[in-house]
Structure 1
Amino acid sequence: MELLTASVVIGTVATAIFDLWGLLIARLRGAPAPRWDMAGRWFGHMAHGRFRHRDMDHAHPIPAESAIGWAVHYLIGILYAAAIPLIWGRGWLDAPTFGPALIVGVVTIGAGWFLMSPGMGNGIAASKTPAPWVARGLGLAAHVVFGAGLWIGALIYSM
């Protein structure tokens, strides 16, 4: 039960920090906020056996896709948070260190680059986007921030 509680707290904190970072970067760049409704559409289509799309904007809308996107986004953050004590041991929850959190944060960009991006029609590692290296850099920076958020969440949990 401790692992579940810790994962919920740590993952929620880390994902919220990730989201705040995304909003900050969007405002600084004059760009729209991240669209979790499109992720919800993608996940919604998975329930019907469709895992790849040419363009999510043109994919058939899914009822409650925004809610689905946000819920799955936070659920994934919670699952990633669970990986740290499962890999480095439950002792990490009592004395969290930055290294494991950063490693998990950075490694998780792989899911975005190699699953989500191609599945949503953006190619491997955003290769089909107008500025692939900008998208990759922003994604990697966001996942470093997520890693820092995992550590911050663990510090809060361990208090």
Structure 2
Amino acid sequence: MDEAAIVLLQAVVAGIVATALLDLWTAALRRLASVPSLDWALAGRWIGHMRHGRFAHDAIARATPVRGERMLGWGLHYATGIAFAGVLLAVMGPAWRQAPTLLPCVAMGLATVVVPFVLMQPALGLGIAASRTPSPGRARMRSLSTHGVFGLGLYAGAWTASALAGGS
């Protein structure tokens, strides 16, 4: 198997593991502490409206629902996790992919918070870095902690991918 195929396969594994850990974290927060999380159907609605040239909304919850929005949203969520894992794996190189270390994973996880802060939240009508939410500071801290957990998941996923690829 060539290098690009290996990186792609490892990105799929690492991205799925990392995103699943993030989902377990948000489910635990929702169940144990009543902390709300993004309804992925709304992200799917956002994606669904793009085909009609609508990329930003005043309030995505008030936008017209689109067929299959929940599946679109979950697909976007996992595809994004896989893409972030792919960037990390490609940048870090083959030696690192055989023996991943924690710091680059956590750094990447935390860096990914830029995407919701400057792209997704404004497009959904929540403002830059959740500035239009009732508690922007709380929302930002929740995003940072969630993306930190995603970073820990990248570490677990990178090790899983390494093991499956025959690394250390």
2:55 paired residue among 47, 51, 59: 51
The percent of aligned pairs where both chains have the same amino acid is 43
Is 1:5 the counterpart of 2:9? The answer is: yes
1:127 Cα deviation from its structure 2 partner: 0.3
- State the SS of the aligned residue for 2:65: coil
Q: Distance in 2 between matches of 1:31 and 1:137?
A: 12
70-79 or 82-91, which deviates more:
82-91
Matched, 1:23 2:27: yes
Partner residue in 1 for 2:117: 113
Equivalent position of 1:88 in the other structure: 92
**What is residue 69 of structure 2 aligned with on the other side?**
65
Tell which deviates more after alignment, 84-93 or 119-128: 84-93
Q: Which runs of 5+ in 2 are unaligned?
A: 164-168
Structure 1 Cα separation of the partners of residues 81 and 103 of structure 2: 17
Residue 146 of structure 1 is matched in structure 2 by 150
Cα drift, residue 22 of structure 1 = 0.6
Post-superposition offset of 1:32: 4.3
- Partner residue of 1:136? 140
Letter in 2 for 1:104: M
| 1:89 partner SS | helix
* Cα distance in 2 for residues equivalent to 1:84 and 1:31: 29
The one-letter amino acid paired with 1:54 is: D
Name the amino acid aligned to 2:89: P
Task: Name the counterpart of 1:38.
Answer: 42
Distance 1:96 1:36, change over 3 A: same
RMSD: 1.0
| Structure 1 residue identity aligned to 2:151 | G
Question: What count of residue pairs does the alignment treat as equivalent?
Answer: 159
Shift of the alpha carbon at 1:34? 3.2
How many angstroms apart in 2 are the aligned matches of 1:92 and 1:48?
42
In 1, the alpha carbon distance for the partners of 2:140 and 2:37 equals 17
Amino acid at match of 2:144: L
1:29 Cα deviation after fit:
2.5
Q: 1:79-112: per-residue Cα shift (whole Å, max 9, x none)? A: 0000112212122210101111111101100000
Give the structure-2-normalised TM-score.
0.91
Quickly say closer, same or farther: Cα 1:108–1:33, change in 2 above 3 A. closer
